[in-house]
């Protein structure tokens, strides 16, 4: 199995921003871009994700010949690979996924994924699959929207250099990418569902134009979350902030 190379930097503004700059200059990878420190890292909706201090900040830049709707499924590929990488070290079932691709352990968010993309001149897309993991420290509670945790606080995880964690993640991601390429989304969706937290329970989805509450029923075939409202109607959630067991 051929795994994209890992390129490490002492400091970058953002690994996703660096991936975008390269793609816009005609370099589409594949390559993992890793920074020991980020000065302007971003999460979803522009939220800051600084990195550094022993945490992981990395982005896979890769070309992909799929339409945008299918290409978006790569976030679930990355989520499954990330969750399995963590659980291989701390024990099965410790880390769980929340839709679409946040990683939680003991009630705190330990990792997130941000996927960005653009068109390649010759056709197809370039993807930047950004991964941020609290390996060593978690941000203070007053700096984050939801409770956060660090993997170093969990028994058995210990101290792990970000580069070592990334090497394991890159191998697992490539294994799942190959499954996705051969068999499509169903096996990825099944694996994600096995690792998911919150399905079947109360859920609130904050959308740009409204807020919906109900039960998080299932992951649909294309990765959308099916939310069953109190009225009995089912709504497909394809984007937005989703809170499980919270308001």
Model confidence over 176-190: pLDDT tens digits?
999 999 999 999 999
Whether the predicted pLDDT of 13 surpasses 90:
yes
Query: Tokens for 13?
Result: 């503004």
Query: Tokens for 29?
Result: 């990878």
pLDDT reported for residue 42: 64
Confidence tier at 29 by pLDDT (50, 70, 90): very high
pLDDT reported for residue 141: 67
* DSSP-assigned letter for residue 60: E
* Residue spans in the chain of domains classed CATH 3.30.930.10: 6-195
Residue 64, Cβ neighbours under 10 Å: how many? 19
Torsion of CA 96, 101, 104, 110, to 10 degrees: 130
Confidence tier at 106 by pLDDT (50, 70, 90): confident
Arithmetic mean of pLDDT, 213-237: 94
Arithmetic mean of pLDDT, 218-234: 94
pLDDT reported for residue 44: 53
Model confidence over 125-166: pLDDT tens digits?
999 999 999 999 988 766 667 789 999 988 878 788 999 999
Whether the predicted pLDDT of 247 surpasses 50:
no
Best CA proximity match to 129, nearest among 81, 89, 87: 81
Model confidence over 32-90: pLDDT tens digits?
999 999 998 765 545 555 555 899 999 999 999 999 989 999 999 999 999 999 999 88
Whether the predicted pLDDT of 246 surpasses 80:
no
CATH number of 6-195: 3.30.930.10
State the Cα–Cα distance between residues 18 and 34, nearest whole angstrom. 10
Residue 230, Cβ neighbours under 10 Å: how many? 9
What percentage of the chain has pLDDT greater than the value 70? 93
* Residue spans in the chain of domains classed CATH 2.30.30.100: 202-244
* CATH class assigned to 202-244: mainly beta
Average pLDDT, the chain: 91
State the Cα–Cα distance between residues 14 and 220, nearest whole angstrom. 32
């Amino acid at each position: 199995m051929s795994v994209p190379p890992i390129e490490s930097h002492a400091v970058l503004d953002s690994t996703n921003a660096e991936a975008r700059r390269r793609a816009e200059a005609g370099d589409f990878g594949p390559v993992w871009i890793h920074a020991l420190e980020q000065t302007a890292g971003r999460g979803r909706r522009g939220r800051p994700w600084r990195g550094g201090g022993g945490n992981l900040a990395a982005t896979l830049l890769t070309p992909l010949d799929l339409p945008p709707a299918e290409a978006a499924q790569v976030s679930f590929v990355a989520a499954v690979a990330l969750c399995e990488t963590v659980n291989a070290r701390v024990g099965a079932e410790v880390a769980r996924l929340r839709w679409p691709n946040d990683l939680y352990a003991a009630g705190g968010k330990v990792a997130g994924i941000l996927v960005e993309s653009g068109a390649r001149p010759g056709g197809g897309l370039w993807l930047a699959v950004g991964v941020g993991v609290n390996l060593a420290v978690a941000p203070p509670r007053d700096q984050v929207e939801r409770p956060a945790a660090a993997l170093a606080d969990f028994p058995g995880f210990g101290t792990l250099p970000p580069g070592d964690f990334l090497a394991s993640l890159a191998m697992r991601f490539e294994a799942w990418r190959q499954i996705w390429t051969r068999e499509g989304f169903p096996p990825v969706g099944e694996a994600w569902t096995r690792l998911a937290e919150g399905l079947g329970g109360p859920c609130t989805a904050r959308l740009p134009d409204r807020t919906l509450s109900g039960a998080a029923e299932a992951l649909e075939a294309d990765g959308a979350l099916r939310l069953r409202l109190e009225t009995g109607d089912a709504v497909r959630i394809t984007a937005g902030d989703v809170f499980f067991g919270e308001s």
